[in-house]
A = this chain, B = another copy of it.
Amino acid sequence: MAMAMATAKLVLLMVLVAGSSCGGSAWRGPLSLLRTLPTTTAAQSVEAAAERLKEDLSSAASSASASSSLIHALRPLMGSAGDLGLRAGVPCDSWRLAVETYNKRDWTTVPGSCEGYVGHYMLGGHYRRDSRVVVDEAIAYAEGLKLAGNGKEVWVFDIDETSLSNLPYYATHGFGTKPYNATSFNEYVLEGSAPVLPESQRLFKKLISLGIKPVFLTGRTEDQRAITVTNLRRQGYSGWMDLLLKPVGLKATAIAYKSGERQKLQDAGYVIVGNIGDQWSDILGAPEGARTFKLPDPLYYIG
């Protein structure tokens, strides 16, 4: 596990160093994206993380057993930018579209032949670019709202793959091609090191400036509250109205749990003007919110 995490950090470091290795020249690569991080705090923590990554890199390089998993983890960075995932029978770009449009449901893992495609998508500029367009729409919508100005207008944010990214985990776990492992994933969550998704944070800050209150609503459980708050603050989030976590042991689908929580918000007099998540289960189920936004996520499915 320690080795896996070191490799994950190595991948991120390679991205930091390589800049826009996968993206088109006109678009910002990961390096320039990090440079545009909105807060000094976040930028500083990225720099500190980069320092730690360098240390991890030297220790990883000194380990002979690191080589194969290292090559494995870096594979998505090696192919061509124009790779649309057309190898091996599965049209990965069409698979991803089917996932994003909710045509494909109840899937458990990314097709094995699409690991490279998904890796490219996530690590190159494509994921960021797709997220940016969603957030641009969300901000245009929010700016167009006529607000009552009574402090009752809220916007629901999911956390994982919406506010924070678990890409460092998934980059060393086959980019979603391997079955979900609750143990190792929870270990990762408890590190509190998940990086910010900058586009979502841009929306978060814009909403606060408009007087719309962000509410986090997550499938993370109540026992993860402290580390979740720590992680969010480390990544530059502040000023949320509430953080709603799932009771430990609650048996409910994500749709049932999340729509129930949204109903409680409404019952308490709040108006959910917007709702953003990476899963369809974040945004389906009445009351959905006046307008919903679906961020990309080709890594996993939560029903």
Q: Is A265 part of the contact surface with B, judged by Cβ < 8 Å?
A: no
Task: Identify which of A127-135, A202-210, A238-246, A256-264 touches chain B.
Answer: A127-135
Q: Which of B26, B102, B132 contacts A94 (CB 8 A)?
A: B132
In the bound complex, residues from chain B placing their C-beta under 8 Å from that of A216 are none
The distance in angstroms between the C-alpha atoms of A97 and B9, with both chains bound, is 30
Q: How far is the CB of A32 from chain B (nearest CB, A)?
A: 15
Question: Which B residues touch A93, using CB under 8 A?
Answer: 126, 129-130
The tally of residues in A whose CB lies under 8 Å from a CB in B reads: 30
Q: At the interface, yes or no: A269 with Cβ under 8 Å from chain B? A: no
Decide if A84 touches B294 in the complex (CB within 8 Å): no
A183 to B137, CA, bound (A): 32
Q: Does B133 lie within 8 Å of A294, measured CB to CB?
A: no
Contact A97 B97 (CB under 8 A): yes
Residues of B within 8 A of A179 (CB): none
A103 at the B interface (CB under 8 A):
yes
Cβ of A25 to closest chain B Cβ, rounded Å: 9
Are B26 and A95 neighbours in the complex by a CB distance under 8 Å?
A: no
Give bound CA distance, A294 to B27, whole Å. Answer: 29
Give residues 89-130 of A contacting B (CB, 8 Å). Answer: 91, 93-95, 97-98, 100-104, 126, 129-130
How many copies of the polypeptide does the oligomer hold? 2
**A129-B293 CB under 8 A given contacts A24-B86, A100-B101:** no
| Cβ-defined contact, B98 with A97, below 8 A | no
* CB atoms of B27 and A97 under 8 A apart: no
Interface: A176 (CB within 8 A): no
Task: Tell which of A87, A100, A138 has the most Cβ of chain B within 10 Å.
Answer: A100
Q: Is A82 in contact with chain B by the CB < 8 A criterion?
A: yes
A296 at interface (Cβ–Cβ under 8 A)?
Answer: yes
Asked if B134 and A87 make an inter-chain contact with CB atoms under 8 angstroms apart, the answer reads no
Question: Contact at A133–B97, with CB atoms within 8 Å?
Answer: yes
List the B residue with the shortest CB-CB distance to A86: B24
Residues B24 and A133 in contact, CB atoms below 8 Å apart: no
User: A27–B91 Cα gap in the complex (Å)?
Assistant: 9
Chain B proximity of A69: nearest CB distance (Å): 29
Measured between beta carbons, the chain B residues less than 8 angstroms from A86 are 24, 26-27
Contact A26 B133 (CB under 8 A): no
In angstroms, Cα B291 to Cα A302, docked, is: 17
Closest 4 CB pairs of A and B: A82-B82, A94-B133, A24-B86, A94-B130
- Using A24-B84, A97-B133, A97-B296 as known contacts, list a sample of 4 further A-B pairs with CB atoms less than 8 Å apart, ordered by residue number in A: A26-B87, A98-B134, A98-B137, A104-B137
